[in-house]
Amino acid sequence: MISPGTLYVVATPIGNLADLSPRARETLAAVDAVCAEDTRHTRQLLAAFGLERPLVALHEHNEAEFAARLIARLRAGESLALVSDAGTPLVSDPGYRLVREARAAGLRVSPLPGACAAIAALSVAGVPSDRFCFEGFLPAKSSARRERLQQLARETRTLVFYESSHRIEESLADMAVVFGGAREAVLARELSKLFETVLGDTLGELTAKVAADENQRKGEFVLIVRGCEDDAAARLAEGQRLYAKLGEYLKPSQAAKLAAELSGAPRKALYGGEAGQD
């Protein structure tokens, strides 16, 4: 039953079309319009189920501008569905501005749960899943990517990342450097699709496997990395991150002293053999 003036946030399949729930299908068939990240993609999805609804393009480049217009339509009594290209909307996809403004306007926002690549990968990874941290996509440039990874090096929760085919090899290599090649990880590729693979190993071994197999560099990826278990290693990783950042503004000895105080890492491990080289 569709309620007037309601925004339905609808999860769609991440690969296998059979994963679209009956309720999602009924909702998409009945709303006044569907707000889609890519209308071409969503039109194909609807056509696969024999559905045809008016589509509104809503993506990161126009969401701020279009949200007010969509709120006006909801206030006028229309019902709208929000979908992303695949999976659950707002999980590393646009839509939060519309949801936020709808809620602020006192309008009903109703979720229709379904597929989510991050949760699907976590469910088969076999790593601790009681506490995890979703990081989405890492920066495209290696320097920025490594800086972000340094910030996460001492994180004790399981880490969940999305990655694209043209960066998966480089991202794995950077993780092996920053987190250490022995850190446990799971690479889930093309989940729910024909060539689905789930590889579990150390970051060092996964990096080598992906580099050696072109097929493992194709498709869409979720990368699960076990959190830091060694408290001393976590303190050292944080100390190294702070030392690198503070070193941009302070002398090496001063940067090492302050980084050690803030992180609890041994000062000598940060400063090493640089003593007397201020």
- Does 275 have pLDDT greater than 70? no
Mean pLDDT of all residues in 15-22: 96
- Does residue 1 sit within a domain? no
> Looking at residue 272, what is its pLDDT?
64
Beta-bridge partners for 56:
35
Which residues are bridge partners to 198 per DSSP? 188
In the predicted structure, residue 273 carries a pLDDT above the cut 50: no
Compute the mean pLDDT over every residue in the chain, rounded to the nearest whole number.
Answer: 92
Q: Is the pLDDT of residue 8 over 90?
A: yes
| Residue 163 maps to a domain | yes
Element (H, E) at 179: helix 168-179
Q: Identify whether 277 is part of a domain.
A: no
Tell me: pLDDT of 215 over 50. yes
pLDDT-based confidence at residue 154 (cuts at 50, 70, 90):
confident
Q: Out of 115, 132, 150, pick the residue that ends a domain.
A: 115
Domain that holds residue 19: 6-115
Q: 45 and 90 in one domain?
A: yes
The predicted model scores a pTM of 0.81
Among the residue ranges 90-104, 158-172, 262-276, the one predicted with the least confidence is 262-276
Asked whether residue 242 is assigned to any structural domain, the reply reads: yes
Domain count, the chain: 3
Rounded to an integer, the average pLDDT of 111-124 is: 97
CA angle 79, 80, 84 (to 5 degrees): 160
Domain boundary among 115, 143, 171: 115
- The per-residue pLDDT for range 32-91, each reduced to its tens digit, is 999 999 999 999 999 999 999 999 999 988 888 899 999 999 999 999 999 999 999 999
pLDDT of residue 9: 98
Q: Spell out a b/e string for 97-121, using b for 16 or more CB atoms within 10 Å of the CB, else e.
A: bbbebbeeeebebeebebbbbbbbb
pLDDT at 186: 98
pLDDT for residue 129 is more than 80: yes
pLDDT confidence of residue 271 = 76
pLDDT at 274: 46
Higher pLDDT, 254 or 41: 41
Instruction: Say yes or no to pLDDT of 100 above 70.
Output: yes
Give the pLDDT mean for 191-203.
96
CATH number of the domain at 93, please: 3.40.1010.10
Give the residue from 222, 225, 232, 93 showing the smallest Cα distance to 149. Answer: 225
Among 82, 115, 148, which residue terminates a domain?
115
CATH number at residue 149: 3.30.950.10
- When pLDDT is averaged across residues 196-204 and rounded to a whole number, the result is 96
14 with 69, same domain?
A: yes
Rounded Cα distance between 157 and 130, Å, is: 9
Query: Does 64 lie in the same domain as 86?
Result: yes
Does residue 125 belong to any structural domain of this protein?
yes
Q: Name residue, tokens 């990342």.
A: 161
